[in-house]
Amino acid sequence: MPDVFRRRGGLFLRILISTALLAVVLAYADVGAVLDALRDADWTWFIAAVAVMALAAVVGALRWRVLLHEAGLDVPVLRAVKTFSGAIVLNNALPTAVGGDAVRTWFVGKESGKLVRAATATIVDKLTALFCLYAVAWAAFAVDRSAVPSSVVRALTWLTIGLLGALVLGVLAAAGVRPVVRRFPERLRDMLRDTWLTLKTWGRSPRTIALVLVLGFAYQVLIVLVLTMIGMTVGVELSFALAAVSTAIVLVAMLVPISIGGLGVREGGYVLLLGKAGIDAADATSFSLLSVVAMILAAAAVVGATAGWEAIQARERKARVLTRQPPA
């Protein structure tokens, strides 16, 4: 019972924090001004953003499937796209920003019986996607320096240094653990060995590395394009560089498990960062809210489309089996 109360208490606290943060942002931005921005929105741009986000979900799913396939998990394309897109929806609804990723790992791992490899693939997928986002952000800033305020660039710089430092510490920790692995419980040793073998398999394949990076860059470019379209929806001329840099910063903030799907943290982050570029708080808030709505709608549409296509294929297979059966 105490564990149940603890879990529910943590969930309640995150709901409370999300509500409080969002309330503060809406009060600062003025609810009436936010509603006016939404009322005057150009929904043509929003529909276009949803369509591009759906394409991004497919690209991200194919990227994840490359890692799964090279790790020995044969996941059909439609299943991978449906599971990945469903994870996007859940990431924006569950108590943490990675809850959907845990769910997609569980589904694929349980079905294949290779949960450790599925988890390794998902973690590498997330980490390399973050690397691609930061690479896109720095490249966009290099091309259009005037679009990003210096204070926002400083925040990106410190975060980049921090992430690189965490990577170095992680590598050193992994190297330090190797000599004492034999002292670990057998089950844990087997899990670590399976993870290491999976990483070596990917590392030995230049084709896999290149494909993961190319698809990762394509995915992040599409995401940033979605955000620029959301900006156009609310009448904000949001440059590609500012959208990329701001998103790279906000995404890391959302990983801190204090809210539901990053709600409140995301809005506050965009209000703060876009405000440095002279974008009104009401516009930044409506931009943030519409961006998550676009992601959920697009991902849900992809889930529905793939589920429907799977159902059609299942009926066709059943019909072929029935036609092959000899008459009674």
| Residue 203 belongs to some domain of the structure | yes
pLDDT at 122 > cutoff 90: yes
Does residue 139 sit within a domain?
A: yes
Q: Is residue 312 part of a domain?
A: no
Q: Is the pLDDT of residue 302 over 80?
A: yes
Angle at 166 between CA 121 and CA 193, to 5 degrees: 40
Other C-beta atoms within 10 Å of 292: how many?
A: 18
Span of 48-57, 97-106, 215-224, 300-309 with lowest mean pLDDT: 97-106
Which of 86, 49, 66 lies closest to 310 in space, CA to CA?
Answer: 86
Please give the structure tokens belonging to residue 4.
Answer: 């149940």
Burial class (CB in 10 A: 0-12, 13-18, 19+), 123: middle
> What is the DSSP-derived secondary structure letter of residue 36?
H
Q: Alpha-carbon distance 186 to 236, whole Å? A: 57
The rounded percent of the chain whose pLDDT value lies above 70 is 88
Distance between CA atoms of 171 and 317, rounded to whole angstroms?
Answer: 48
Structural domain span for residue 238: 2-301
pLDDT the model gives residue 326: 63
**Given pLDDT bands bounded at 50, 70 and 90, which one contains residue 328?**
low
Specify the higher pLDDT residue, 14 or 85: 85
The secondary structure element, H or E, covering residue 168 is helix 150-177
Q: Is there a domain that residue 262 lies in?
A: yes
pLDDT of the residue at 4? 45
Highest-scoring range by mean pLDDT, 214-228, 246-260, 304-318: 214-228
* 90 phi and psi angles, rounded to 5 deg: -70, -35
- What is residue 5's predicted lDDT score, i.e. its pLDDT? 42
With cut-offs at 50, 70 and 90, classify the pLDDT of residue 178.
low
Q: What is the mean pLDDT of residues 210-218?
A: 96
- Domain-located, residue 10: yes
pLDDT reported for residue 319: 73
Cα distances (Å, whole numbers) of residue 154 to 125, 246, 260, 269: 27, 12, 28, 15
pLDDT digits (tens, 9 = 90+) for 179-197: 666 666 767 777 777 788 8
The total number of structural domains in the chain stands at 1
Q: What is the pLDDT of residue 7?
A: 53
Contacts of 210 (CB under 8 A, 6+ apart): none
In sequence order, the 6+-apart residues with CB closer than 8 A to the CB of 302 are: 54, 57, 58, 81, 82, 85
Of 82-96, 183-197, 281-295, the one with minimum mean pLDDT is 183-197
Which range among 26-40, 119-133, 264-278 shows the weakest confidence by mean pLDDT?
26-40
Residue 124 within a domain: yes
Q: Kindly state whether residue 328 falls inside one of the protein's structural domains.
A: no
Report whether pLDDT(149) > 50: yes
What is the Cα–Cα distance from 31 to 312, expressed in whole angstroms? 45
Closest CA to 241 of 227, 255, 254: 227
CA triplet 274, 19, 260: central angle to 5 degrees? 85
Measured from the Cβ of residue 126, the count of other Cβ atoms closer than 10 Å reads 14
DSSP string, 220-287: HHHHHHHHHHHHHHTT----HHHHHHHHHHHHHHHTSSSSSTTTTHHHHHHHHHHHTTT--HHHHHHH
* Number of neighbouring beta carbons within 10 Å of residue 150: 9
At residue 288, the 3 state secondary structure works out as helix
Which pLDDT belongs to residue 299? 96
| Residue 231 φ/ψ, nearest 5 degrees | -60, -45
Query: Contact at 8 Å (CB) between 91 and 116?
Result: no
Q: Which of 117, 125, 134, 127 lies closest to 64 in space, CA to CA? A: 125
Q: Does 103 map to a domain?
A: yes
